[in-house]
Structure 1
Amino acid sequence: GALATETNVRKARLSDARILALATHGLMAGEIEGAAEPGLVFTPPAAPTEADDGLLTASEVAGLKLDADWVILSACNTAAGDGSEGAPGLSGLARAFFYAGARNLLASHWPVRDDVAARMTVRTIEIARDNPNLSRAEAFAQAMREIRNDASQDSDSDTLAHPNAWAPFTLIGDGTR
């Protein structure tokens, strides 16, 4: 909403967060005019400034001070490259969050379905919270399995078992507790 701004992200005491979950839209470099690097879209201010134009770029992310065990990026393409010619995956936003102090990331390799992204990320956190002996990787795998096996939303033209629903996400880091 209106409080989901780049300014508020920068002002937040992010170094106090053990888990940081950002549910927004992710842009790849060049996806919109003037975006030379990947970024996360936030609510734009009424009067954009250089400090807050509504797009938190990878270089701006790298300047944040995090101490998070886990950063969850519930957005499209957050594990994509930085936009340079032949850039490997994980060279953009993912790398920037590691530079900022994240120890593990849940990110996506391609566009995500909003309905599944919300469910996958929240369910992963719930499973990890309710089962402290599970690693992040095990909690994530269990959430993914639940979504794949849930036929309650299946139709003649769509199923959550299809990889387009659950496969964009990847856990990057050590996956331990």
Structure 2
Amino acid sequence: MRQARRSANAAEAQVAGQRESNIAAAQPYVWADVRGDDAQGQRLILLVGNSGPTVAENVRVNFDPPLPRSGDLKDLTSAALGRLQDGFSSVAPGHVHSWPLGLAAELLRSPDAQIHTVTVDADGPFGAVPSLTYVINLSDFRESIDSPSGTIHKLTKAVDRVSAEIKKLH
């Protein structure tokens, strides 16, 4: 009788673990990050994305203290950050939203550490996703390479390949 009870309890625990694992695997995974702009090189951008398999709803992202902003797009970026803090409607799987923060040289002018605690909250198909909290230190960008991912050399090589193909056709 005792062995049967242990077996039943173990089976129930296994089923509960599998249920929790299946729910966790089906939840969205929403994140926020600051990165250099691949297309431009000198600008820092804010990214918010969903790497999970389902739509994230009521996405809320908070930065404490708020992220710095500079340049002509300061007001637009401030509005986006406010919307993120209040609750963004949804982020589909694999989608990434991005907003410019400003030129890295302006944003990183202070020699002090620029530590920002990020808290990301969202709802998935099974309710609230556990809060994700981590630190972004903008001063980590100092002395990093600020070149965009493409180069004139790569462009020249691509033009040469296209030219060679066109010559073959004639």
- TM-score bin, normalised by smaller chain: under 0.3
- The answer to which structure has the higher strand fraction is 2
TM-score of the superposed pair, with normalisation by structure 1: 0.23
TM-score where L is the length of structure 2:
0.24
